[in-house]
Structure 1
Amino acid sequence: MPIAEWPPFEPRWDLSRESQMYVLDSGKDDFDAYYPDGLVLKWVSLADLDAKLTPASFRTADEVWNVGDASKAAGVLADWIAGQELTPPAIGCFEKREVPLIGGNHRLAVARAKGIERLPVLIDPNVLADVSVLLDLSDHESETQLDGEPRQSALNHNAPAGDDG
């Protein structure tokens, strides 16, 4: 289905610690083995993320159906149209200069095609410092508070998930 014909929906993210295991296709056992302490949740602008994605991880909005598994993209689209929440994509760090997608390629592709500007990402705590150098990460969906002032915690890139700085 062409992007212009998609029914209305908004990407909805499951930000719970329990949903993190779904970021990998291999399941809970592999997730627990790789990430025994879980992942760190941060927010990033899509433009910032796209500028640092490895070539193998990047695709344009128009490539949502013809790069990767179209049935997975269709499943993401169907889930979001139904109002379901999905686990955010996970990112890593490659040679301290690029950001690969670790999981969530199709979720990111559909969200990009939908035109989102910011999204949550999950990051291995062991590479968080390196990713923080490459991307402008924040602890909140928006960079501003209701009064229009910058959030203080948005400036603290190394705060643990859930810490308001």
Structure 2
Amino acid sequence: MDMDEVFAAIAGETLEIHQEKYKLSSRISSEASHYMETDSSDWPPITFNWDLSEEGGRFSLDGENELSFKTQYPEGLILGKVKLDALDKKLCHFSRRDEGELWTVGSKSSLAYLIVYLSEKRPISPPLVKPHLMGEVMLMGGHHRYAIAKEIGEKYIPIYVEPKYRKEIDKLMEIDWLS
């Protein structure tokens, strides 16, 4: 078994699907290098194509495999929509991106990759939000999605929350629950 077959098996994919994903990822990575550390005015037009499907929820954690996701989140996730500025005000310091921090916090290559990915209108899952200390929330996944949404001036952003945290999150922000 070669390495591609091993990686495909680990991901629970056929070899063909794994190879297609690899080709897509390689192409996007190559194009992304052109946007590294650029001003958002130099980006291609970005449209968030939010994947709000139940199956897509696991991707909120940046590629969590299906078995691990189902083990860690047996009740699944609930979906809501929140004003981005309201979320931003409640984010703890290590989840929030402040003015001038777009390229200085997090992975530059991941951010540039996401710019290209989103410019192609590819589906993306909402960030996963969890209550944190002192009336704040934190992103468990989706830091770059949030950063780009904030940078391009999105007014609302969908979020996922574990069902056990719904009441606590409701006390912190006004959420329009969709599921």
* 1:13 maps to amino acid: W
Given the alignment, which residue of 75, 82, 85 partners 1:47? 85
1:64 — aligned with what? 102
Match of 1:15 among 20, 33, 52: 52
TM-score of the pair, normalised by structure 2: 0.74
Aligned to 2:142: 104
Contact 1:61 1:113 in 2 (8 A): no
Deviations 1:39-69 (A, max 9, x none): 0000000110011111111112532222100
Report if the CA contact (8 A) 1:61-1:112 is conserved: no
Does residue 123 of structure 1 match 2:161?
yes
8 A Cα contact 1:23 1:88, kept in partner: yes
Looking at structure 2, the residues matched to 12 and 51 of structure 1 have their Cα atoms a distance apart, in angstroms, of: 24
Q: Is the 8 A contact 1:89 1:122 kept in 2?
A: yes
Structure 1 CA distance for aligned equivalents of residues 136 and 172 of structure 2: 8
Bigger Rg, structure 1 or 2: 2
Which residue pairs with 1:35 in the alignment?
73
Size of the aligned set, in residue pairs, is 141
Alpha-carbon separation, structure 1, partners of 2:107 and 2:99: 15
Give the number of the structure whose residues are more often helix, by fraction: 2
- Equivalent runs, 1:82-93 vs 2, <5 Å: 82-93=120-131
Q: Which has the higher strand share?
A: 2
Letter in 2 for 1:72: S
Q: Find the aligned partners of 1:61 and 1:18 in 2 and give their Cα distance.
A: 34
Deviations 1:99-118 (A, max 9, x none): 01011111111111111010
Q: State percent identity of aligned pairs.
A: 32
Q: 1:40 to 1:61 in 2, by over 3 A?
A: farther
Q: How do 1:114-153 residues align onto structure 2 when only pairs under 5 Å count?
A: 114-139=152-177
Shift of 1:25: 3.5
Instruction: List gaps (5 residues or longer) in structure 1.
Output: 141-160
Q: CA deviation at 1:96?
A: 6.1
Unaligned runs of 5+ residues in structure 2 are 1-37
